Amino acid sequence: MSEKVPRNILLRIIFLSLAGEIAWAVENQYYNVFLYNEISATPIYVSLMVAITTTVGTIATIIMGSLSDVKGRRKPFLLYGYIFWAITTAIFPLSASFIPIGVGFAIFIAILFDSIMTFFGATAKNASLNAYITDVTTVENRGKAMSVAQMMVLVSLLVVYGGAGPLINSLGYYAFFYLTGFLVGLFGILGSIGMTEPTNINRLEVSVFNHIKNTFKRSNLSGSKNFFIVLAIIGCWGISLNICFPFLIIYLNHYIGLNVLISSLLMFIALAISIILAYPLGILIDKVGRKKITFISTFLFSLSLFLFGLSDNELTLVITGTMWLVFYTSLSVATFTWAKDLYPSESRGQFSGYWNLFSGTIPMVIGPLIGGWIATEFGIYKEISTGQWGFVPPPLIYFAAAIFALITLIPLFFAKENKSKI
């Protein structure tokens, strides 16, 4: 395959990535904001929801990714996964209707709805789309393809942060979630309809259980050692990100004192700048190498988080917010591409599950628990809304994230880059 990614494949990556990342952007921020503002202003409940649902996501990715490998198909998992993902994204705010029964029950329903949504999202994007991108790319062009996918992460955040404030202020949370569900379904169907299955995957004569079990044979684990070292790299900077990211809008609203509209606008500006730099980063990563870019980006990501925690006005928040978003992007593209370089050809769907364990579950369990604990122990206890009191996350969550990011350098020292052509 040439260094260029075929246009029809790029379009599918764009539509499917955008659909998925819009859903994840809303789930990662505004599910948390909705739970905090509308059900209970208790940070640890946000941490609990994030931890439970990301665990569901990894289990679903491993099982459904393995099923995709065994069947030798990606398309049905993408098409039907996105349709049900859209529906379950839209119903989340209905959890607030259970508050009259009890706040605890409403929290349970919110976590349940989020978990169901996450199952379909993990099936569609985390397992199937990640495997598909690996199926249709090589080492020479995978960085470019991943930069496009990562660009959609930023575009989705741009759309969500740009639209969330005005929509929530003018129409309320329900309209916002319904519109999100519609966009997820629309882009997901556009990306899946007409897709042809990759030619380099075949049906496996093995059960899903045995396909998963075979991964843990000593010979297979030994052959995948470098893959798991790269996953450890991803897990370290991912924990750093998730110490502070789930509380970002809450922090801007209730500590800095910006309303949802202004908070979203600030992130909109930072994201717009980051998007412009995303594709050049992918080209640079393909040329310079995954390890060198990861090394440089780790230091700069840490520094940016520290400076963001020191910022207390709109201008410095935009500047430092743009910095850590850019270096988060370079870390994501470099390390996610690196991991995909090391996927076994017959287990790409399943190995997307292990990737999800380190890029999603572990960071999103450990990180938010650290952030939630910091917010509870060192945050400000104040009135969030009329009659609603809670703990407000302090800048310390960004300082802690900055320090933790440097742990990434430990596994990075032992990691080796794959130079093969697959």
Q: Are 77 and 409 in contact (CB under 8 A)?
A: no
What pLDDT is attached to residue 346? Answer: 64
Structural domain count of the chain: 1
The predicted pLDDT at position 219 comes to 55
The reply to whether 185 falls in a domain is: yes
Q: Which positions ≥6 away from 348 have C-beta within 8 Å?
A: 65, 69, 130, 131, 134, 135, 201
Listed residue (15, 409, 49) closest to 184, CA to CA: 15
For the ranges 126-140, 183-197, 381-395, the lowest mean pLDDT is seen at 381-395
Average pLDDT (136-156) is: 80
**Strands 380-385 and 388-392, sheet pairing:** antiparallel
The set of residues, in sequence order, having a beta carbon less than 8 Å from that of 266 and lying 6+ positions away, is 252, 258, 314, 317, 318, 321
Question: pLDDT tens, 280-333?
Answer: 877 787 788 889 999 999 999 999 999 999 998 888 998 999 899 889 988 988
* CA–CA gap between residue 363 and residue 348 (Å, rounded): 22
- With a cut of 60, say whether residue 221 has pLDDT above it: no
Q: Which helix (H) or strand (E) holds 294?
A: helix 290-310
Helix (H) or strand (E) holding 179: helix 173-192
Angle at 409 between CA 405 and CA 329, to 5 degrees: 55
In a domain, 2, yes or no: no
> Is it the case that residue 180 has pLDDT exceeding 60?
yes
DSSP string, 94-160: GGGGGGGG-HHHHHHHHHHHHHHHHHHHIIIIIIIIHHHHHHT--HHHHHHHHHHHHHHHHHHHHHH
419 within some domain: no
Q: Is residue 376 part of a domain?
A: yes
- DSSP per-residue codes, 328-358: HHHHHHHHHHHHHHT--TT-HHHHHHHHHII
- Could you give the C-alpha distances from 383 to 247, 255, 380, in angstroms and in order? 17, 12, 10
Contact 321, 309 (CB under 8 A): no
What is the extent of the structural domain holding 123? 7-198+208-414
The domain that contains 117 carries what CATH number? 1.20.1250.20
- Asked whether the whole model's pTM tops 0.85, one would answer no
Q: What are phi and psi of 45, to 5 degrees?
A: -70, -35
Q: How far apart are CA 291 and CA 307, in angstroms?
A: 25
| Segment (H or E) for 414 | helix 409-414
Residue 292 is assigned to a structural domain of this protein = yes
Element (DSSP H or E) covering residue 381: strand 380-385
Query: Measured between alpha carbons, how far is 91 from 99 in angstroms, rounded to an integer?
Result: 15
Residue 148 and residue 140: Cα distance in Å, rounded?
Answer: 15
Interatomic CA distance for residues 289 and 271, integer angstroms = 25
Provide the percentage of residues in the chain whose pLDDT is more than 70.
93
The pLDDT of residue 348 is: 65
Assess whether pLDDT exceeds 60 at residue 142.
yes
pLDDT at site 2: 43
Which residues, in sequence order, are bridge partners of residue 366? Answer: none
Contacts of 276 (CB under 8 A, 6+ apart): none
What is the three-class DSSP state of 398?
helix
DSSP 8-class letter at 386: T
Q: What is the mean pLDDT of the chain?
A: 85
